[in-house]
Structure 1
Amino acid sequence: MNASGTPPHPGDGRDPDGAVRAWRGLASDAVLLDGFHAVKHALRFGAAVPVALTSDRAAVLALADDLAPDVRAALDALLVEVPADTLRALVPRLHPTAVAALGSRPSRAEGLAALSRVPRTRPVVVLDQPRNLGNAGAVIRLAAGFGITGVITTGTLDPWHPTVVRGGAGLHFATVVERVEDAGQLPPGPLYALDAEGEDIRGLTLPDDAILAFGSERTGLSAPVRERADQLVSLPMNPRVSSYNLATSVAMTLFHWSTGHGPAV
């Protein structure tokens, strides 16, 4: 009990055992936010974060003072310091900033509804059967930076996998991120699919309601997405070079779209 006679909140810095118990009870269903930047972005974009642990509370708060004063008060209220060994037992691949938190995953139904809502003023990116978790995270980070409507993956990769969230620096909460089974479940809108056989993107204007589809790192676009495409689009590239990295392709395409728009909001 604290001085007021009520149990201490796991995040008030005075109940490490309670915070660890809360972590263990939530971990199987929650989103792992590993590292200062992931926690910072989750808080900045309104994620529900019930518990956050660190082995060096003072160091994390000093980082917040320097890099994210807007979330410093929230971190101060939330962070619980636990022994380093305890933290590493809960998060074996701990980020060098020695802080991790658990966030509540947004509603899937609300996310799919937001992606399908028309009229749409910013594109949706589709990663068609991606394989690389880090690339998927980098794309979600790009989506947040450009302020687009969201990112959809098809196939089996979970876009909320901890490695994807780590690669996205917690910016899943700044956009909509969902997975669908196949091309038949994609939202409405003109589908522009990136393909080496397509029309050069430099001669095209991508509409704001575009669905921008990118194939997997190894096999390219799946047949269903290719068949559904309204337009195949290619990026300029030296013919002796076989391909770009997936995140690079998304960045080039979103930059091309963004040239006619103001800053992301």
Structure 2
Amino acid sequence: MTDHEAARALRQWREAAPDAVLLDGFHALKHALRFGADIRCAITSDKESVLALAAGLAEDMTGAFDDRVVEVPKEALRELVPKGHATQVAALATRRARVDNRQALDRRPRSAPIVVLDNPRNLGNVGAVVRLAAGFGVTGVVTTGDLDPWHTNAVRAGAGLHYATAVEHVDRDALPAGPLYALDPEGEDIRSVVLPDDALLAFGSERHGISPELRGRADRLLSLPMRPQVSSYNLATSVAMTLFHWGGPR
């Protein structure tokens, strides 16, 4: 690290921060780089340790980390990211353009479902669902309601995998086209249903469930198997069970 390089990186960070996406930690930056994110600035207080992590966990990304990450004083990193990740690396990236996300979501025919989170209330759950969606190779994740699926807490929980699938907020009347399958305790057992690749798979919040509007529009209501004494599954668990039933990447 030279003082000039560190000063330039810190200046770039402060300039980019107001409208950038925070990638907090090694895995978030690793995934964002792998899936083509526009990284505007990446900093660490211990570049040697970051490169050692890359060599051990993502050898294919070692060169990218070496090229992108600039070492800065520990105090400067703590000032910019007060509750930073234990891996001591953070980055700022450009949010994926809404027009690109909509093109991906609206493209037909569709070879994998879209997950619809209807008015989710927990940003950590949103991020966990994005991580699942990326792993299963779904077309995208859309949310309704007032939460931003690109909020810092959602991106942190998603480990940077917002760049691996189309993640967007939409109004209920602007959902992508496709048959709507809504998860509801009164629906038919999901094990008796084959989920089509172009389905919209809609999930409500744990407390309130699917909205009456989406419930009324659903082509089919589906339920997950659950003991009568248990009231609900975590949102991400419900999504994981449903995507596993769909079949996952082929």
TM-score bracket for the superposition, by shorter chain length: over 0.9
Q: Gaps (5+ residues) in structure 2?
A: none
Specify the code of the residue in structure 1 equivalent to 2:205: S
Tell which deviates more after alignment, 74-83 or 233-242.
74-83
Q: Which aligned pairs between 1:117-156 and structure 2 lie closer than 5 A?
A: 117-156=107-146
Relative to 1, partners in 2 of residues 1:69 and 1:127: Cα closer, same or farther, differing over 3 Å?
same
Query: CA separation in 2, counterparts of 1:13 and 1:255?
Result: 50
Query: CA separation in 1, counterparts of 2:31 and 2:2?
Result: 21
- In the alignment, which residue of structure 1 is the partner of 2:105? 115
Query: CA separation in 2, counterparts of 1:100 and 1:173?
Result: 16
From 82, 91, 110, the counterpart of 1:101: 91
1:217, CA displacement in angstroms? 2.3
Percent identity of paired positions between Structure 1 and Structure 2: 64
1:123, CA displacement in angstroms? 0.1
Misfit runs of 4+, over 4 Å: 11-14
Pairwise CA RMSD of aligned residues?
Answer: 1.4
Q: Gaps (5+ residues) in structure 1?
A: 1-10
- In the alignment, which residue of structure 1 is the partner of 2:243? 254
Q: Which secondary structure does the structure 2 equivalent of 1:32 belong to?
A: strand
TM-score (norm 2): 0.97
Q: Which secondary structure does the structure 2 equivalent of 1:22 belong to?
A: helix
- Do the aligned residues in 2 keep the contact of 1:132 with 1:217 (CA within 8 Å)? no
Query: CA separation in 2, counterparts of 1:93 and 1:140?
Result: 22
Q: Deviations over 1:78-124 (max 9, x none)?
A: 11111111111111110000000011111101111210111101000
Relative to 1, partners in 2 of residues 1:110 and 1:80: Cα closer, same or farther, differing over 3 Å?
same
- In the alignment, which residue of structure 1 is the partner of 2:151? 161
- Do the aligned residues in 2 keep the contact of 1:144 with 1:171 (CA within 8 Å)? yes
From 3, 7, 18, the counterpart of 2:8: 18
Relative to 1, partners in 2 of residues 1:227 and 1:12: Cα closer, same or farther, differing over 3 Å?
farther
